[in-house]
Amino acid sequence: MVLGPPFAELAFAPTSTGGGGEHTRHKQQPDSRSHRLHAAGGAGLDQPRDSHNEALRYRSRVMHRALVTGGCGFLGSAVVRELLARGVRVRVLAAPGEPRDNLTGLDVEIVEGDVRSVDAVRAVTAEVDTVFHLAAVYQDWAPDPTRMYDVNLRGTFHVLEAARRAGVARVIYTASMVALGRPEPGAVGDERTPYEAWNVDFAYSRSKYFSRELAEYFAAWGLDVRIVCPGIVLGPYDLRPTPSGKLIVNTVRRRGPMPWFDGGAAYVDVRDAAAVHVLVAERGRAGERYLAVAHNLTNLEFIRAIDAAAGIRRRYVHLPVGVARAIGRAMDRRARRTGRPPLLSLDFFEYSLKPSFYSNRKSLEELGARYRPLDETLRDAIAYFRQRGFIPSPP
């Protein structure tokens, strides 16, 4: 049962426990209505952006060798591809046992290790000029968030401190829009919107807020740290799929009328979010935050957009908040009994009731970022999920 999109992000590639440090130079072998976002000069912002656009595929004059933690993951692997397109040599920190399908055919150096290991992180940051720190635990349901806080906070500290000691020129830290505050209803937030979700026990949001603050403490002490806050990230190469991808998969797989509840969020294509990361490294400013968002949509608008991309026609049934909350609580109780994640995370539901709409003006004006139309993102994601068997092919 899909009840409209709860929040999902962002920075992926969960990190598992383990030591690490074995380096291998490795070429992987095959094995809307909405609140409109700002655009430069007042133009609409649904501009197609191809990752093969020659205007962006130049050899970087800033970076020569970069480390990407979480580089096997959904967003991390997209950052890797953007870097390779600019002629940057790439080292990836991969968690032990983590699937590496997204690196197939790419000429990258893979180091297996855990961001919670001081020795592993110290070794992997040697001889790089730029660090992209994307590795994080992301869960939309976490009855025990201890590991999430451990990886997202302690792991971030280790990466930043290792970068400082190694004399790395710059660090690009992937936060999330959930590390910022939600704007007041009817308003559009930006990079300065103060965090206010203290009334919601949403562990992922808090872990990203605290780790974002940690990165800014390092910046205050002189480390060149730049922060990217992606919206809900969608698109192809979502292996698991992530909770973001499950919003699409569950919507397309459901038959019959589609229930939805109030709320809304900002979305972005994974390829465009990756391009913003690289642009932040090349053109951004130390200590600054940059939102990577493209489309502000209510929950109903997002569901309709998915259905349009998948060729689905049906009725939509609005669920009052009280009814949706009761369903969420029942799912949460069942999940705690069985240990299986619920279809609707109660924490996500409560967080997403207050629409999280944001402006992308800063990324457009300071970085020259571009964002593709939502229907292109959704079509590509649906085709990928069908190819992997998550969504049945149309009859």
Q: Provide the whole-model pTM.
A: 0.85
Identify the pLDDT of residue 58: 59
Confidence of residue 80 (pLDDT cuts 50, 70, 90): very high
pLDDT tens string 163-200 = 999 999 999 999 999 999 999 999 999 999 999 999 99
What CATH number has the domain spanning 22-387?
A: 3.40.50.720
- pLDDT at 35 > cutoff 70: no
Question: How high is the mean pLDDT of the chain?
Answer: 86
Cα(341)–Cα(345) distance, rounded to whole angstroms?
8
| 358 is known as an active-site residue | no
pLDDT top residue among 217 and 39: 217
In the set 138, 209, 237, 371, the catalytic residue is: 209
Identify the pLDDT of residue 14: 31
Q: Is the peptide bond before 5 cis (omega within 30 degrees of 0)?
A: no
As given in the structure block, the two tokens for residue 194 are: 């103060």
As given in the structure block, the two tokens for residue 333 are: 């109780």
Cα(305)–Cα(122) distance, rounded to whole angstroms?
45
pLDDT tens string 93-123 = 999 999 999 999 999 999 999 999 999 999 9
Backbone angles phi, psi at 304, to 5 degrees: -60, -40
- pLDDT at 84 > cutoff 80: yes
Confidence of residue 59 (pLDDT cuts 50, 70, 90): low
Of residues 153, 278, 162, 148, the one with CA closest to residue 226: 278
**162 vs 25, 41, 122, 130, 282, CA distance in Å?**
21, 41, 5, 12, 21
Which of 29-33, 51-55, 306-310 has the lowest average pLDDT?
A: 29-33
Confidence of residue 62 (pLDDT cuts 50, 70, 90): confident
pLDDT tens string 295-346 = 999 999 999 999 999 999 999 999 999 999 999 899 889 989 988 888 888 8
Residue-wise DSSP of 321-378: HHHHHHHHHHHHHHHHHH-PPPSS-HHHHHHHTS---B--HHIIIII------HHHHH
Tell me the three-class secondary structure of 45-58, residue by residue. CCCCCCCCCCCCCC
> In sequence order, what E strands does 129-197 have?
130-133, 170-174
Cα(308)–Cα(257) distance, rounded to whole angstroms?
15
Identify the pLDDT of residue 193: 97
